[in-house]
């Protein structure tokens, strides 16, 4: 396992107590703005957040032939649906899922992706340090949002990782399924793909053509289901404690962010990635 050197000084933006209730693009817009500031010299920052009900799509998902119709169907059910600007595929979010962004400078503009992802892996393992579980890294075929940097316990995925790079800084983002049913979330993603590909209208060729991931419900689980007790709150506490053993951490006041700039970034992301 590669070792990474955590910055001596970090800010921590913890928005998990109540979650972002509203536009799901808001936390991604905040990441984008903070990443720009980190590239211009501000301290690195870790952003923790939750959302009560959303499906966040990858860029490839948006290209499915009936994606807009499937998105509107979910919105009619009261769910937020948008396309994120980082890699990966569709991910369902609720208050049992903890989202983590590690925002770091990249002044030399290096492209060491493995090293970058290792920060998030390090942080997740640190947050679970007292759980005594063996955490594996590697793609879990059949899980939603599959990728090389999936984190799993006993063959069942609980964490996916993606990345967003700017010119002088980057964001490594992860979702951690802390509590609730992994199978129910997998079924939601599978149904989205069924509708967005047109399979709900009898066009079943999309799966076989590899247009979207094949989802099997048994390959995703929450930490709670995997025997890690305490749920989302315990995981957030573990992350915060672990960070403070590695860096001098200051709590970040989100009120210092310009509401006008944040709103403008939300609309920019929506116009850029959803149309």
- Kindly state whether residue 60 falls inside one of the protein's structural domains: yes
Q: Are 199 and 208 in contact (CB under 8 A)?
A: no
SS3 state at 83: strand
pTM (two decimals):
0.93
Helices (H) and strands (E) in the chain, counts: 8, 11
Token couple for 45: 């920052």
Q: Assign residue 269 a region: left if phi > 0, alpha if psi is -120 to 50, beta otherwise? A: alpha
Number of domains in the chain: 1
Active-site entry in 10, 26, 64, 145: 145
Q: What is the pLDDT of residue 208?
A: 42
Q: What is the pLDDT of residue 175?
A: 97
For residues 122 and 191, what is the distance between their CA atoms, to the nearest angstrom? 33
- Kindly state whether residue 3 falls inside one of the protein's structural domains: no
- Kindly state whether residue 1 falls inside one of the protein's structural domains: no
Contacts of 36 (CB under 8 A, 6+ apart): 166, 169
- Kindly state whether residue 70 falls inside one of the protein's structural domains: yes
Q: Are 169 and 38 in contact (CB under 8 A)?
A: yes
Q: Are 138 and 74 in contact (CB under 8 A)?
A: no
| Full domain range(s) for residue 64 | 9-273
- Kindly state whether residue 134 falls inside one of the protein's structural domains: yes
- Kindly state whether residue 125 falls inside one of the protein's structural domains: yes
CA angle at residue 145 from 208 to 119, to 5 degrees?
A: 145
Q: How do the pLDDT tens digits run along the chain, 275 residues long?
A: 567 899 999 999 999 997 899 999 999 999 999 999 999 999 999 999 999 999 999 999 999 999 999 999 999 999 999 999 888 899 999 999 999 999 999 877 776 667 889 999 999 999 998 667 899 999 999 999 999 999 999 999 999 999 999 989 999 999 999 999 999 999 999 999 999 998 865 555 555 456 788 999 999 999 999 999 999 999 999 999 999 999 999 999 888 899 999 999 999 999 998 87
For residues 73 and 58, what is the distance between their CA atoms, to the nearest angstrom? 18
- Kindly state whether residue 259 falls inside one of the protein's structural domains: yes
Task: Specify the CATH number for the domain of residue 164.
Answer: 3.30.930.10
- Kindly state whether residue 254 falls inside one of the protein's structural domains: yes
H or E stretch covering 182: helix 182-197
Strand partners, 48: 14, 100
| Catalytic annotation present for 159 | no
């Amino acid at each position: 396992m590669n070792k990474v050197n955590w910055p001596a000084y970090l800010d921590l933006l913890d928005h998990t107590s109540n979650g972002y209730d509203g536009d799901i693009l808001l936390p991604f817009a905040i990441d984008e703005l903070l990443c720009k500031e980190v590239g211009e010299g501000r301290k690195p920052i870790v952003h923790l957040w939750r959302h009560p009900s959303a499906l966040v799509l990858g860029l490839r998902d948006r290209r499915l032939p009936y994606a807009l119709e499937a998105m509107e169907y979910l919105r009619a059910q009261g769910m937020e649906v948008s396309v994120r600007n980082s890699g990966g595929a569709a991910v369902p979010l609720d208050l049992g899922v903890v989202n983590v962004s590690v925002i770091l400078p990249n002044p030399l503009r290096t492209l060491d992706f493995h090293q970058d992802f290792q920060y998030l892996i390090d942080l997740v393992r640190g947050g679970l340090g007292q759980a005594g579980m063996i955490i594996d890294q590697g793609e879990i075929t059949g899980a939603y949002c599959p990728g090389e940097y999936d984190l799993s316990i006993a063959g069942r995925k609980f964490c996916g990782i993606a990345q967003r790079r700017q010119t002088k800084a980057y964001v490594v983002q992860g979702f951690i399924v802390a509590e609730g049913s992994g199978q129910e979330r997998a079924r939601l993603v599978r149904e989205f793909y069924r509708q967005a590909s047109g399979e709900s209208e009898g066009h079943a060729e999309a799966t076989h053509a590899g247009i979207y991931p094949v989802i099997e419900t048994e390959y995703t689980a929450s930490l709670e289901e995997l025997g890690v007790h305490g749920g989302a709150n315990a995981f957030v506490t573990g992350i915060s404690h672990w960070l403070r053993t590695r860096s001098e951490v200051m709590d970040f006041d989100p009120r210092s962010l310009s509401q006008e700039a944040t709103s403008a970034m939300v609309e920019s992301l929506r116009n850029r990635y959803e149309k």
